[in-house]
């Protein structure tokens, strides 16, 4: 797959999460959109952009099984976590449950918001090496308490690349009346 990227072929690039490079076909499509913008900036931004974004939200919504009006584009996952964390009406004693495998910038966001609101940010440990997904699910769910307001987790964790049972967590949390915020591999996905 190395030939699908514009990366220097003499290096092994592993940070596709924070500063990922685009595959060549994606980069070419991006350049074409940029050329369209540069040809007629006022027309593109003032008259066409809203329609293009709606079409993109409809296509993504169809893929995700969600109405386009539920889709919002954000610059990156950390921005999305900040927006959600800061908009929650957390009260003293509320708990946000996560794992000890989350992305540092998001951990810092939750720590800040919880400290400001008197809530607790609970990092549930996941034993390494991990077992089957059901075992990982039970390790995470063991951190749920009567004060758990939201479960925050990544589909694929940043520091360890573990794949977490996000779908199972979202379903169980919904049954328990707990909100979920999940970062998915295709960047940010919200399961509220």
pLDDT of residue 187: 39
Measured in degrees and rounded to the nearest 5, phi and psi for residue 114 equal -65, -40
Note the pLDDT tens digit of each residue in 125-182: 999 998 899 999 999 999 999 999 999 999 988 888 889 999 999 999 999 999 999 9
Average pLDDT over residues 85-96: 97
Q: 187 near 155, Cβ under 8 Å? A: no
CA distance 87 to 55: 28
125 CB-near residues (< 8 Å, 6+ apart)? 99, 100, 139
CA distance 18 to 16: 6
Note the pLDDT tens digit of each residue in 47-84: 999 999 999 999 999 998 999 999 988 888 889 999 99
Give me the residue spans of the domains in the chain: 16-70, 77-189
What percent of the chain is modeled with pLDDT above 90? 72
Q: CATH number of 77-189: 1.20.1260.10, 3.40.50.1580, 2.60.40.10, 3.40.640.10?
A: 3.40.640.10
């Amino acid at each position: 797959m190395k030939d699908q990227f514009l990366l220097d072929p003499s290096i092994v690039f592993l940070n596709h999460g924070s500063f990922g490079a685009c595959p060549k076909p994606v980069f070419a499509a991006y350049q074409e959109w940029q050329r369209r913008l540069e040809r007629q900036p006022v027309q593109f931004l003032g008259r066409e952009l809203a329609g293009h974004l709606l079409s993109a939200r409809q296509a993504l919504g169809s893929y995700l099984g969600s109405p386009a009006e539920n889709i919002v584009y954000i610059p990156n996952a950390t921005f999305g976590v900040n927006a959600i964390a800061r908009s929650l009406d957390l009260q003293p004693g509320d708990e946000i449950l996560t794992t000890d495998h989350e992305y540092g910038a998001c951990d810092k966001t939750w720590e800040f918001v919880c400290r400001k609101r008197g809530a607790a940010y609970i990092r549930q440990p996941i034993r390494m090496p991990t077992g089957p997904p059901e075992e990982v699910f039970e390790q995470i769910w063991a951190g749920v308490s009567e004060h758990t307001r939201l479960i925050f987790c990544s589909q694929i964790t940043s520091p360890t690349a573990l794949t977490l049972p996000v779908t199972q967590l979202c379903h169980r949390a919904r049954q328990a009346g707990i909100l979920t915020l999940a970062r998915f591999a295709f960047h940010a996905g919200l399961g509220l």
